[in-house]
Amino acid sequence: MTWRASIARVAITSALLASLSLTALAADIVIGRSTEPSAIDPQFSRTGNNQMTADNMFETLLSTDANLQMHPHLATEWTNIDPLTWEISLREGVTFHDGSPFTADDVLFSLDRTDKVPNSPAPFSDVVSSVDTVEKIDDYTIRVTTKQPNPALMEQIGRVFMLSKAAAEGAELADFNSGKAAIGTGPYQFVAWKPAESLTLKAYPDYWGEQPDFENVEFRFIANNAARTAALLSGSVDLIDLVAPSDVPRLEQEANIKVYPIESGRLVYLALNMRDDTAPGVVDASGQPINPNPFRDANVRKAVSAMIDRSLLVDRILGGSGVPSAQVVPSALGGYVPDLLPTPADPAEAKRLLAAAGFPDGFGITLYSSNDRFPGDGEIAQAMGQLLARGGLQVNAVQTQPYNVYAAAATKGEYGAFIFSLGASTPNSESNLRSLLQTYDQEAGTGGFNRMRYSNPEFDAMLRSAMEEFDYDTRMEKLQEATRIAMDDQAIVPLFFQKIYWASRDGIDFTPNLAERTIAQDVRLEK
């Protein structure tokens, strides 16, 4: 054999070996994510992008499934000794990434730290605000007392990320970002974070729960929609999130690409401002502001709702990427009212309601919307303008603005009729009803995002009663009842829930979820 031939043989053999080792390493995955975290400390910010990053490495007392329902996780069971006292059992045999066991001391430390993270732009304070004391009974049992009866306690403290006391005590933000303090109990452990570029993780071999399918995971942060799609098509990433609805038909045609759609919990709604005697942009035929504010009349709000053809918005403007809605949360969440369904547009009914409210000839209105917050927001505002005009209002203008300008002005009450969105991140409608529809009261701290200043004592009473109800089923019924009261009033005009999409190459499976989160544990090798 000549030396040439032997070199060739070596080359072929090593190529074969290389391809073999490639199959062994096939359990690596690259995920193209649209958002990036601002820090690795899981308690630093409870924005979605930070939480879904932390979810890979850290765990909570309760876990949240694809439908936002919560299940025992690091806490295995809990009982109420009395309405103010909870005894919680912790999972045994759980270890941190450094090998140390997870015990009550870590839980006490983590709960205590939750509202003490300095300079947090989106603190978790509220989830521990009802907690009075936390004490350790033994290594795997803790006792929590609350300041007032709080049936939702476990849903709240169940969202606190558990840190290793040994690793995180006294640690600064930089210690987490470098990975030194980023010691959790989750299925993947921290390897490296390059801001704006990537986050690398590796599987934690001693994970107590379902073993991860991938040895190495790289999240690549690709903010641009078209670039994310291109990265998937070119094979440089295996899975992408937040696929632009306009790219979905193209990807569905590709032979080797799978698309995962889900109806998300993000509601797009029209808010009608009732806070003052006049509403900005709501004028009579001569251009004068109408006093009293027409939006304070439930008939007018219902008339506006009856003018809107929700299926048309979803089908024509969004290409089907939405689900018409008549309430605040989607069907998968607790407190959803099954018989409260969106009705088709009914211009005749709208006319009748307007006449009953004393506006047989309608009135002038200006419609406001953001134009960069969610797919199609600007176009939806334009279409809504036409629908309202068809329904008998004089639409004087449709104004759209970038979200950073728009959000502050909407909160200040500078818009009369405006389009907004609200995502769901909790298992039932309570939290969204509280922030969106409860009477605004600065002192009591309620109704923080009630930009319309809707206020109905009957609704408030029912919601409060639900918040104090310890029996789960009764609590959900009360939330349903509260939703019925508010929707009878047309407190807001719900439009639709957004559909969101993930896409991957063949060979892997992803479980889409309502929470709009992209975590490695939801990605699996195709079975």
- Choose the binding region for other proteins from 101-109, 216-224, 458-466, 485-493 (rule: CB under 8 A): 216-224
Looking at 113, 258, 351, 434, which residue binds other proteins (CB under 8 A)? 434
- Closest CB 49 distance from other proteins, rounded Å: 10
- Closest CB 294 distance from other proteins, rounded Å: 27
- Closest CB 105 distance from other proteins, rounded Å: 26
Is 322 in contact with 299 (CB distance < 8 Å)? no
Site string for other proteins, 334-373 (x = CB under 8 A): --------------------------------------x-
Residue 265 or 416: the one with the smaller Cβ distance to other proteins is 265
In 286-308, which positions are buried (b, 16+ CB within 10 angstroms) versus exposed (e)? eeebbeebbbbbbbbbbbbbbbb
Q: How many residues would you count in the chain?
A: 527
Looking at 66, 340, 407, 508, which residue binds other proteins (CB under 8 A)? 407
The footprint of other proteins on residues 435-494 (CB under 8 A) is: 435, 442, 445-446, 448-449
Looking at 134, 222, 283, 357, which residue binds other proteins (CB under 8 A)? 222
Residue 50 or 293: the one with the smaller Cβ distance to other proteins is 50
Query: Rounded to whole angstroms, how far apart are CA atoms 192 and 199?
Result: 6
Q: List, in order, residues 6 or more apart from 141 with CB less than 8 Å away.
A: 87, 88, 89, 90, 104
Should residue 409 be labelled a site residue for other proteins when binding is judged by CB under 8 A? yes
Looking at 138, 197, 277, 361, which residue binds other proteins (CB under 8 A)? 197
Terminal alpha carbon distance of the chain: 46
Q: Is residue 194 within a helix (H) or strand (E), and if so which, with residue range?
A: strand 188-194
For 316-466, list the strands marked E by DSSP.
322-324, 364-370, 394-401, 417-422
Query: Rounded to whole angstroms, how far apart are CA atoms 363 and 287?
Result: 9
Supply the DSSP string of 300-343, one letter for each residue.
HHHHHHHH--HHHIIIIISTT-EEE-SSSS-TTSBT--TT--PP
Token reading at 45: 């910010």
Query: Rounded to whole angstroms, how far apart are CA atoms 431 and 210?
Result: 30
Should residue 394 be labelled a site residue for other proteins when binding is judged by CB under 8 A? no
Residue 39 or 259: the one with the smaller Cβ distance to other proteins is 39
The footprint of other proteins on residues 114-133 (CB under 8 A) is: 115, 118-123, 125-126, 129
Looking at 234, 338, 348, 527, which residue binds other proteins (CB under 8 A)? 234
Should residue 91 be labelled a site residue for other proteins when binding is judged by CB under 8 A? no
> Within 13 A of 284's CA, how many CA atoms are on the CB side?
11
* Beta strands 216-221; 28-33: pairing state: parallel
The binding site for other proteins (CB under 8 A) comprises 32, 38-39, 44, 46-48, 115, 118-123, 125-126, 129, 173-174, 194-198, 220-224, 226-227, 230-231, 233-237, 372, 402-409, 411, 422-423, 425-426, 431-432, 434-435, 442, 445-446, 448-449
